[in-house]
Amino acid sequence: MVSARQQALGQLAQEAGDDWLLIARLARVVVLAVRAQLVLEVGIGPGVVTVWIADALERTGGRLVVLEQNSQLIARVLERLDALGLAVRVQILEGNAQQTIRTVAGPIDVVWLAADRARYADYLRAVQGKLRPGAAVIAEGMTNEGGVVLADDLSRGGELAAVELPVRGGTLVGIYWPERALEAT
| pLDDT tens digits, one per residue of 22-66 | 888 899 999 999 999 999 999 998 888 999 999 999 999 999 999
Q: Higher confidence at residue 99 or residue 4?
A: 99
- The CATH homologous superfamily for domain 4-184 is Vaccinia Virus protein VP39 (3.40.50.150)
pTM, entire model: 0.88
Distance between CA 43 and CA 182 in Å, rounded? 32
pLDDT at 115: 85
pLDDT at 43: 94
- Which residues does residue 161 pair with via DSSP β-bridges, in sequence order? 175
Confidence of residue 16 (pLDDT cuts 50, 70, 90): low
β pairing state of 171-176 and 131-139: antiparallel
CA 29 and chain centroid, separation: 12
Please name which of 146, 134, 114, 127 lies closest in space to residue 174, comparing C-alpha atoms: 134
In which order are the strands placed within the sheet that holds 131-139?
A: 90-94, 63-68, 38-42, 108-113, 131-139, 171-176, 160-165
pLDDT at 136: 94
Span 170-180, pLDDT tens digits: 888 888 888 65
Distance between CA 66 and CA 164 in Å, rounded? 23
Domain spans in the chain, listed from the N-terminal domain onward: 4-184
pLDDT at 184 over 50: no
pLDDT at 185: 40
pLDDT at 183 over 60: no
Distances (CA, A) of 142 to 25, 120, 146, 164: 19, 9, 7, 8
Distance between CA 65 and CA 90 in Å, rounded? 6
Distance between CA 94 and CA 109 in Å, rounded? 21
Of 35-49, 91-105, 160-174, the poorest mean pLDDT is in 160-174
Q: What is the DSSP letter of 34?
A: T
pLDDT at 161: 77
pLDDT at 113: 93
| Burial class for 109, CB neighbours closer than 10 Å (0-12, 13-18, 19+) | buried
